Amino acid sequence: MKYFVASGEDRKLTADSRGALRGSFIELSDGVTHYELAGPEDGDVVLMAGGLTIPLFYWDGLVSELHARGLRTLTCSAYGRGYSDRVQARYDETLFTRQLAELTDRLGLTARPLHLVGTSMGALVSMTYAAQYRSSVSTLTIVGPAGLAKPQLTSPNRLLRSDLLAGVVARRRGLQLLQGHLGHNVRDPELGAKLTEMVLDAFRFEGSLYAVFDTLQHLPVAGRDDLFRRTGTLGIPTLLLWGDEDVVTPLTQFDTARVLLKPQKHHVINKCGHMAPFERPRDVADQLVPFVSARTERLDS
């Protein structure tokens, strides 16, 4: 799909526009990445990989919980999201995996294995990362993963296969479709409003809708059973979490994920939609912290 600037994208990402933001910025091989490394300096590092649209601020609630329990966190906005560069590249797992690998390397975090957390589309990126950098991943936590829906020959998928049609749809109706997608992610209307404001603020920067639609073209979010199956053979201790009222990646896919991933532990969070780390950060931390701590204790003993 040819790069485009959509209506309403009235800002450019520059040093000045980023100046007031919390966090740090680093130039990697594909572009500038917005990241935040925080928490107890002696804590194990938990690396987060987010979904299709979210900036790093999405993780704030979970990050606070993890810091309070002794863990250090590395969050970032994937290229095209938040306040990271809108790169003119193919938005696929290779790009996002390279971003995470370069970021951890440049920050000097490769000496000790990381705890990797991926949610929604980020779960697919996390699984790809885990396969490529097996020795650097201590545990893998997958939350409401994309990828288990069956591929369908529906009209939206046909549109995305055509660069021309995908570009037209993205420019004309992209923002409307995005807002509709955000409305399905969380149960609580107040949290939904907060999420929408957080995401849409960053979508005023040029190239944002291009990045999302190019991702939809090149990072398949259905029919990925083989990726799950391969991840299940890596031998990485895995935790699978899911919201019981998730309508984006429905709980009906939970058993399939269990069979393919073979997680050491799995848990369904009650009264929770698609974005468990955002909606129910304490419940996610209650599952995540004991899981990663047990692995750390075994390594240290």
**pLDDT tens column, 157-201:** 544 555 555 555 555 555 566 655 565 677 888 888 898 889 888
Q: Which residues of 190-222 are buried (b: 16+ CB within 10 A; e: fewer)?
A: ebbeebbebbbebbebbbbbbbbbbbbbbbbbe
Helix (H) or strand (E) holding 63: helix 60-68
pLDDT at 2: 77
Residue 274 sits at the vertex; the CA angle it makes with 22 and 57, to the nearest 5 degrees, is 0
pLDDT at residue 153 is higher than 50: no
Residue 108 token pair = 């000097």
Query: 261-296 pLDDT, tens per residue?
Result: 999 999 999 999 999 999 999 999 999 999 999 987
Instruction: Show the beta-strand stretches assigned E in the chain.
Output: 24-27, 32-38, 45-49, 72-76, 114-119, 137-143, 238-243, 265-269
Helix locations, 184-280, DSSP H: 189-202, 208-218, 225-232, 254-261, 276-279
Give the integer Cα–Cα distance in Å for 96 and 91.
7
Helices (H), ranges, 107-202: 121-132, 155-161, 163-183, 189-202
282-295 per-residue burial string, b: 16 or more CB within 10 A, e: under 16: ebbbebbbebbbeb
Confidence of residue 130 (pLDDT cuts 50, 70, 90): very high
Confidence of residue 154 (pLDDT cuts 50, 70, 90): very low
Closest CA to 56 of 84, 30, 32: 84
Distance CA 121, CA 118 (A): 8
Res 158: pLDDT: 47
Longest dimension (CA), the chain: 58
Quick one: tokens of 256? Answer: 């399939």
- Rounded to whole angstroms, the Cα distance separating 85 from 50 reads 16
Residue type, 83: Y
Length of the chain: 301
The domains located in the chain, with CATH, are: 23-300 (3.40.50.1820)
Q: What is the mean pLDDT of the chain?
A: 89
What's the pLDDT at 155? 40
Q: Is the pTM of this model over 0.75?
A: yes
Confidence check: pLDDT of 23 > 50: yes
- Per-residue pLDDT reduced to its tens digit, 209-263: 899 889 988 999 999 999 999 999 999 999 999 999 999 999 999 999 999 999 9
